[in-house]
Amino acid sequence: MKRALITFAAVSIAVLLLVIGYVGGRHTPSSSVPSVAATSKAQDKKVLYWYDTMVPEQHFDHPGLSPMGMQMVPKFAGEGTDPNIVRIDPATVQNLGLRMAPVEHRVLASVSQVPGTVTWDLRQAITVSARVDGVISQLDVRAPYTTIRAGEPLATLLAPEWDSALAEYTSLQQAQSSDAKALRAAARQRLDVMGLTDADIRSAHRGSNGGITVHAPAGGVVTTLDVREGQRVTAGQTLMTVNGLSSVWVEAALPQAVAGTVRHGTPVTVTVDALPGRDFHGTVETLLPDIDTMTRTQRARIVLDNADGALSPGMFASVRVAPASGEAVPVVPNEALITSGAQARVIVVEGTGRFRPVAVRTGRSSEGYTEILAGLQGNEKVVISGQFLIDSEASLSGALDRLDPLPPQPASAASAGMSGMHMGDQP
């Protein structure tokens, strides 16, 4: 009996201790007990303060939960006080496979391939019009895009005004008095005003129907034909338009970033699919002062010699623009850039396991590199692989909100993209 009482007492005491331990464990806040790692580290280094990684600017003198309910971490002496620095253990950096590259100074290749279209050289366009009222009695050119030679007959007009002027001039041919000669000179001047040449006058005398034949002022192609045989025309009305093919224009569509590097005299090489293996060399004559509202491109006019008529208006062309080489500029690999909205930034390596996000202003891109206009000096090292992990950590710590502002963009640089309005222009 005595042994049973002792056993019961021992079991009761054990159960009571278990209950006390369970209740005590539930009511002891785990946040007040530092982790073994934190305690060990705190013993090695002096803790300056505790902070929440979500709100690093708030400092506390004790561990535990922050007002946001996040577990706070210690800030140790000797780690630096720059809140914009992101620290990652070197072993973690190696495991993540982060790759770095130095900021280089390079001369970016500016050669660009842009589309273009072959058009008529409008300087060779000639309009053939009626000088007086009349009727087209005969039309020698009956279809547009007919090739003609200089002096070739185009049409014959019956014009009473021409007939009366010719009759007056002819009747005074045998005049001997000074007054009659003066009248004859006035009649000849009247014929000149009507557009009749000596050849026209001779052909009118030879013709049986009294009509006047209009001849081609130059060789080329009849690009527009605005009348038909038997049609009545009025003075000043356009009969047809003749355009030469000895030279053609090529209008290239330049992105604004390319147009900014193009000037009068910039050399170009033009190729067309219809003539494989053949290159046409020329220079930019001018940049047209308007921007296409749909494609945001600016047209460059290029004049090409076309003595053999190989190039025809309407052909699609590929234009290779090669501006003169510029000076070396700071560049970073394209993979190093982190773009969010209108802002671009890179992750600069500050030392072993230490990184800093830096806002940059970018310029032209070529051959896998992008020009840095502001933000870097040119002697830094940037992260080109895995930088998005560091950027995410910087965003959590608020470092991105505290990026140093870039200096104002110079007016000359701001207008470089629109320098083609004078201009020639993209990037």
Query: What is the CATH architecture assignment of 112-121+245-321?
Result: Beta Barrel (2.40)
Report the Cα–Cα distance between both ends of the chain, in Å, rounded: 100
* CB of 50 closer than 8 Å to CB of 358: no
Fill in the DSSP letter of residue 195. Answer: T
- Return the pLDDT at 121: 92
CA distances to 120, 306, 312 from 285, in Å:
15, 16, 19
**Cβ atoms of residues 103 and 382 within 8 Å:** yes
| Secondary structure class of 355 (helix, strand, coil) | strand
Q: What does the H/E/C string look like for 79-138?
A: CCCCCCCEECCHHHHHHHCCEEEECEEECCCCCEEEEEEEEECHHHCEEEECCCCEEEEE
For the record, the structure tokens of 217 come out as: 């002022």
Q: Which of 416, 413, 369, 412 is nearest to 105 (CA)?
A: 369
Residues 199 and 215: beta-carbon distance below 8 Å: yes
> Can you give the pLDDT at residue 75?
72
CATH match of 87-107+327-421 with 2.40.420.20:
yes
Contact between 256 and 292 under an 8 Å Cβ cutoff? The reply is no
| Cα–Cα distance measured from residue 58 to residue 402, given in angstroms and rounded to the nearest whole number | 15
pLDDT of residue 119: 93
Domains of the chain, residue spans: 1-32, 34-81, 87-107+327-421, 112-121+245-321, 132-231
**What pLDDT is recorded for position 404?**
57
Using CA atoms, how far apart are residues 132 and 122, in angstroms rounded to an integer? Answer: 26
pLDDT of residue 81: 52
Using alpha carbons, select from 350, 358, 339, 424 the residue that is nearest to residue 381.
350
- Rounded to whole angstroms, the Cα distance separating 27 from 168 reads 128
Distance, in Å, from the CA atom of 158 to the CA atom of 99, rounded to the nearest integer, reads 86
The string of pLDDT tens digits covering residues 183-225 is 877 777 777 777 776 666 666 655 445 578 888 888 899 999 9
| 130 in Cβ contact with 195 (< 8 Å) | no
| Structure confidence at residue 396 (pLDDT) | 53
Dmax over Cα atoms in the chain, in whole Å? Answer: 175
Q: Which of 155, 151, 181, 179 is nearest to 169 (CA)?
A: 181
The residues that bridge with 73 in the sheet, in sequence order, are: 51
- Residue 61, CB-side half-sphere exposure with 13 Å CA sphere: 0
Q: Give CA separation, 159 vs 81, 140, 163, in Å.
A: 98, 17, 6
What's the confidence (pLDDT) of residue 49? 76
Residue type (1 letter), 92: T
Q: Let me know: does 283 contact 265? Beta carbons within 8 Å.
A: yes
**Residue 383: both structure tokens together:** 């992260």
Give alpha helix (H) positions in 289-410: 387-397
Task: Going residue by residue through the chain, which has 427 residues, state the pLDDT in tens, using 9 for 90 and above.
Answer: 556 555 665 556 655 555 455 444 444 343 333 443 444 444 456 777 777 766 666 778 888 888 877 777 777 665 555 556 666 667 766 777 777 788 877 777 666 788 999 999 999 999 998 888 889 999 999 999 999 999 888 998 888 777 777 777 777 777 777 777 788 777 777 777 777 766 666 666 554 455 788 888 888 999 999 999 999 999 889 999 999 989 999 998 888 777 777 888 888 899 998 888 898 998 899 888 888 888 888 898 999 999 888 999 999 999 988 765 667 778 878 877 877 767 787 888 777 777 777 788 877 776 777 777 887 777 788 877 776 766 666 665 555 555 555 666 654 444 444 433 333 333 3
